[in-house]
Amino acid sequence: MLLRFTVTGVTGTVSRATLRLHRSDTGSSLGDGAVVTSLNNNTWSETGTTWNNQPAVNGASLGSLRGATRDSWYEVDVTSRIIGNGTYSIAIDTPRGGAVLDSRESGADTAPRLSVATVRDTKTPAGSEDPVLVGAGDIAGPGEGKEATAELLDKIPGTVFTAGDNAYQNGSSSDFSEYYEPSWGRHKARTRPSPGNHDYYTSGARDYYEYFGDSAGPAGLGYYSYDLGTWHIVSLNSETDMAVGSSQEKWLRQDLSASTKPCTLAYWHKPRFTSGAHSNNSGTGPLVEALYEANAEVIVTGHNHQYERFAPMDPDGRADDAKGIRHITIGNGGIGFYEWGTIQPNSEKRNNDTYGVMKFTLRANSYDWQFVPEAGKSFTDEGTGACH
Amino acid sequence: VDRRTRFGTIIAVSVVVGCLVTLRPPTSESVTTPVAALSTTERIQVVNNGMLGDYDPSTGNRTVTGIPCERAHAAAGTVACLSPADESINSRLTVMGPGYSARREIPLSGFPDAVRVSPSGRLVGYTVVVTTGLKHWHTYLPPSSGIVDVDTGVTLHPSADFTLADGPAASALFSGVTFADDNRFYLSMFVDKRRYLVEGDIRSRTMRRIAENVESPALSPDGTRLALRQIVDPSPESPRRLAVFDLGTRQTRQLPESRTTLTQPSWSDNHTVLYTVQRGDGRNDVWGVAAEGDGIPTELISGVSEPTVSR
């Protein structure tokens, strides 16, 4: 099924966009197979599209449909796709058949709906409608740090990312309910996470996927992508196979080549380059290589409980002003701090005594980065980079 | 980079290690609040951002070798170095002679924690840990220590080759060796969630507890005191306070330094304790403070760690 919505009248920042689909009172169970995908093609027409000339379903995955009974509504969070005024196409694929979904022809009461909620950000200057991506890694455990960073999110609109190790010690459902949910959990509806090794201390990171649901991409894979304005955002999984030829690496290359956005940011857990005690992780190298070849701008990681920003580098860690990717580790999300080891070449800024979040303002052809410190601390780091 | 190749390239760097040092008298008696100073004009071996190097107190000049070291020590011409852990958390103990000529290379599993050479240069005590540097969130994982006879290559492990004279301590963990001579040594023991200072005797293969809640000992040049880190409360996240333990009176006195210190302290002379403090951005500085506890901490060498004053 193909859907197209034209969004008008939005003046603030989109805080949440929800796609509602009504399951009609006929047909069998839908199961877990229905996939909601963003469609980059907006030129198809309602009457002219046939099976044979259907547009390619090539956009970012937005989620899947599960669990609704007959004559009831499915809800899918499409905040990552609906960034403001514009025309948006969405494809619903039900590869295993199943439930009948009502469309426009079913009548206004049960037709698909797109609800867009906005917040007016009075603090940012006019013209700052650029999307914001904000987050950190290594977040929620018994200590106080998680609340210090959650309170920063309370004041920063936009999409929230996590760079893994969301809930300590084991990423169990009780770790999520006890530590993550009362802090960062209040921003769950706008959060697009990535998993870390501590999340995988629970077999297959089962409770991580259960907790975040569709926001974490297809369950069990831990990699997915979405768009924010002119930016393509990729969330990857450093806890599973990343080798050349692995499912993840092949998916990444396809995803990047399908993207039409001029700028790209990727995030995952384990840093390729770090001056921390956990040393460089060369296992992530094939992901870095694919992103470099696709002219990506920024890679954000966690794992080492500290903040570190590098100058743009090539996949071997050499300074590369023309095409290099800026690597940033933001492991100051709340769980604690690590000591430093050997300071690596091209490391430009470091801190291991301040909790904080990393805020990216994603402009049309550039980005601003800003380390936002916890209340009462003064360390910060900000700057601007251009898209390649 | 193949480390053997890299190691081979630095042998041309010639720095004499372990020569005799003229000790200056300690701070003047008229000074009531002693400011620590480096009491030597000889080159001091240091670690400079992951590389072995040295510092000339007379000129302030520094040299850096290409030898990867996170922890290092030297005595009587023997240089010992623990390399930074690779991404599989493997380190390596390298023992060198004059001109950094390699004498022993021992692969180790864990993060480098501490290394010390005995005064004769014959024994090297090392410690690696499976995880380290966790300042707040700390799951205690085991250290592993050994004492290497540089001449024979034989390694003794306190956990396996020694018995505790004052009661069994199955599954005890040991760290932070410091030597009095080629027989007597001190180290930390962690057992039943308690931390002890232990004295060991190599000839009899015995050890005994001599204090509790202190760790990372470093013996003074005159052999009478241990500079160490006192554990303020029993939690793994407890801050460590720099202190001096008197082997005669068995008393521990905290030094006026409230910051967390990196690794084992060392001694500049019998009156000055040296230690490393890491800045928030990862740069390390060597500080000194009077061992009598009546001085103020003084930054002595910026940008380096692991000072070894030759004697």
Q: Least CB-CB distance to A342: which of B84, B134, B136?
A: B84
Q: Helix/strand/coil (H, E, C) string of B229-262?
A: EEECCCCCCCCEEEEEEECCCCCEEECCCCCCCE
A342 interface with B at CB cutoff 8 Å: yes
Distances (CA, A) of B216 to A265, A285, B114, B230: 44, 38, 8, 9
CB A23 within 8 A of CB A68: yes
Q: How confident is the model at residue A356 (pLDDT cuts 50, 70, 90)?
A: very high
- The Cα B147–Cα B115 span in angstroms is 10
CB within 8 Å: B135 and A277: no
SS3 A147: helix
Distances (CA, A) of B280 to A222, A379, B87, B259: 33, 10, 23, 12
B82 interface with A at CB cutoff 8 Å: no
Angle at A17 between CA A16 and CA A23, to 5 degrees: 130
pLDDT score of B23 = 36
Interface test with B, best of A339, A353, A374 (most B CBs within 10 A): A339
A285 interface with B at CB cutoff 8 Å: no
**Beta strands at A326-330 and A298-301: parallel, antiparallel or unpaired:** parallel
Structure tokens given for A378: 């003064």
Map tokens 């009661």 to a residue.
B167
Interface test with B, best of A197, A238, A279, A307 (most B CBs within 10 A): A279
B96 or B89, higher pLDDT: B96
Q: Region B243-253: what's the mean pLDDT?
A: 96
pLDDT score of B26 = 43
Structure tokens given for B114: 């501490």
- The Cα B227–Cα B273 span in angstroms is 7
pLDDT tens digit string along B103-150? 999 999 988 999 999 999 999 999 998 764 444 334 455 788 999 999
Angle at B9 between CA B8 and CA B15, to 5 degrees: 95
Whether B14 has a pLDDT exceeding 50, the answer reads no
Whether B303 has a pLDDT exceeding 80, the answer reads yes
| Highest-confidence segment of A348-357, B23-32, B169-178 | A348-357
Q: Which residues contact B127 (CB under 8 A, 6 or more apart)?
A: B113, B114, B115, B143, B144, B145, B174, B175, B176, B177
pLDDT score of B3 = 37
Whether A363 has a pLDDT exceeding 70, the answer reads yes
Distances (CA, A) of B165 to B69, B191, B199: 35, 15, 10
pLDDT score of A68 = 62
Q: Least CB-CB distance to B133: which of A143, A338, A351?
A: A338
Whether A126 has a pLDDT exceeding 60, the answer reads no
Q: Which residue of A has its CA nearest to B261?
A: A339
A350 interface with B at CB cutoff 8 Å: yes
Whether A46 has a pLDDT exceeding 50, the answer reads yes
Q: Least CB-CB distance to A338: which of B87, B134, B283?
A: B134
pLDDT score of B32 = 54
Q: Region A366-378: what's the mean pLDDT?
A: 97
Q: How confident is the model at residue B311 (pLDDT cuts 50, 70, 90)?
A: confident
CB A335 within 8 A of CB A327: no
Amino acid letter, residue B4: R
pLDDT score of A96 = 56
Query: Between the CA atoms of B207, B212, B216 and B217, what dihedral angle is there, to the nearest 10 degrees?
Result: -70
Whole-number percent of chain B with pLDDT over 70: 84
pLDDT score of A8 = 74
Q: How confident is the model at residue B167 (pLDDT cuts 50, 70, 90)?
A: confident
Q: Which residues contact A225 (CB under 8 A, 6 or more apart)?
A: A60, A61, A232, A233, A234, A235, A255, A259
Q: Which residue of A has its CA nearest to B47?
A: A342
B278 interface with A at CB cutoff 8 Å: yes
Distances (CA, A) of A226 to A61, A236, A241, B162: 7, 12, 21, 60
- The Cα A316–Cα A345 span in angstroms is 11
CB within 8 Å: B280 and A336: no
Neighboring chain B residues of A352 at a CB cutoff of 8 Å: 135, 280, 282
Whether B227 has a pLDDT exceeding 60, the answer reads yes
Whether B49 has a pLDDT exceeding 90, the answer reads yes
Structure tokens given for A134: 């904000």
- The Cα B95–Cα B111 span in angstroms is 17
Whole-number percent of chain A with pLDDT over 70: 91
Amino acid letter, residue A248: Q
pLDDT score of A316 = 97
Whether A383 has a pLDDT exceeding 50, the answer reads yes
Amino acid letter, residue B293: G
A345 interface with B at CB cutoff 8 Å: no
pLDDT tens digit string along A75-98? 788 887 787 777 888 888 765 555
Q: How confident is the model at residue A287 (pLDDT cuts 50, 70, 90)?
A: very high
Q: Which residue of B has its CA nearest to A337?
A: B135
B205 interface with A at CB cutoff 8 Å: no
C-alpha count within 13 angstroms, C-beta hemisphere, residue A97 = 3
Q: How confident is the model at residue B156 (pLDDT cuts 50, 70, 90)?
A: very high
Q: Least CB-CB distance to A339: which of B49, B85, B133?
A: B133
A24 interface with B at CB cutoff 8 Å: no
Residue A154: DSSP 8-state: H
CB within 8 Å: A277 and B85: yes
- The Cα B95–Cα B103 span in angstroms is 5
Q: Which residue of B has its CA nearest to A271?
A: B87
Q: Which residues contact A19 (CB under 8 A, 6 or more apart)?
A: A3, A36, A62, A75, A76, A77, A78, A90, A112, A113, A114
Beta strands in A78-197 (DSSP E): 86-93, 113-119, 132-136, 159-162, 191-192
Residue among A140, A147, A76 nearest A113 (CA): A76
Q: How confident is the model at residue A156 (pLDDT cuts 50, 70, 90)?
A: very high
**Looking at A126-135, A328-337, B1-10, B114-123, which range is the least confident one?**
B1-10
pLDDT score of A98 = 55
pLDDT score of B8 = 32
pLDDT score of B236 = 62
pLDDT tens digit string along A236-283? 999 999 999 999 999 999 999 999 999 999 999 999 999 987 778 999
Q: Region A228-239: what's the mean pLDDT?
A: 97
Whether B180 has a pLDDT exceeding 70, the answer reads yes
**Looking at A84-93, A379-388, B181-190, B237-246, which range is the least confident one?**
A84-93
CB within 8 Å: A335 and B137: yes
- The Cα B174–Cα A138 span in angstroms is 30
B235 interface with A at CB cutoff 8 Å: no
Q: Name residue B64's beta-bridge partners.
A: B53
pLDDT score of A196 = 96
Q: Region B82-87: what's the mean pLDDT?
A: 91
Q: Name residue A2's beta-bridge partners.
A: A91
CB within 8 Å: B87 and A354: no
Q: How confident is the model at residue A23 (pLDDT cuts 50, 70, 90)?
A: confident
pLDDT score of A69 = 65
- Cα A227 vs. chain centroid, distance in angstroms? 9
pLDDT score of A76 = 82
Q: Which residues contact A192 (CB under 8 A, 6 or more apart)?
A: A80, A159, A160, A161, A162, A215, A216, A224, A226, A233, A235
The verdict on whether omega for the bond into residue A169 sits within 30 degrees of 0, i.e. cis, is yes
Neighboring chain A residues of B68 at a CB cutoff of 8 Å: 342
pLDDT score of A97 = 54
Q: Region A211-232: what's the mean pLDDT?
A: 96
**Looking at A80-94, A159-173, A350-364, B282-296, which range is the least confident one?**
A80-94
Structure tokens given for A148: 């210090």
Q: How confident is the model at residue B11 (pLDDT cuts 50, 70, 90)?
A: very low
The two most distant CA atoms of chain A are separated, in Å, by 65
Helix then strand count (H, E) for chain B reads: 2, 25
Map tokens 């044979």 to a residue.
A52
CB A327 within 8 A of CB A292: no
Q: Please give the ipTM for the structure prediction.
A: 0.80
Average of per-residue pLDDT values in chain B: 85
Whether B24 has a pLDDT exceeding 60, the answer reads no
Beta strands in chain A (DSSP E): 2-7, 13-23, 34-39, 61-65, 72-77, 86-93, 113-119, 132-136, 159-162, 191-192, 224-228, 231-235, 263-267, 298-301, 307-310, 326-330, 347-351, 356-362, 366-373, 381-386
Whether A104 has a pLDDT exceeding 80, the answer reads no
Q: Which residue of A has its CA nearest to B49?
A: A342
Residue among B251, B248, B295, B250 nearest B275 (CA): B295
H or E stretch covering B54: strand B51-55
Helix, strand, coil percent values for chain B (each to nearest 5): 5, 50, 45
Query: For the whole model, what pTM was predicted?
Result: 0.74
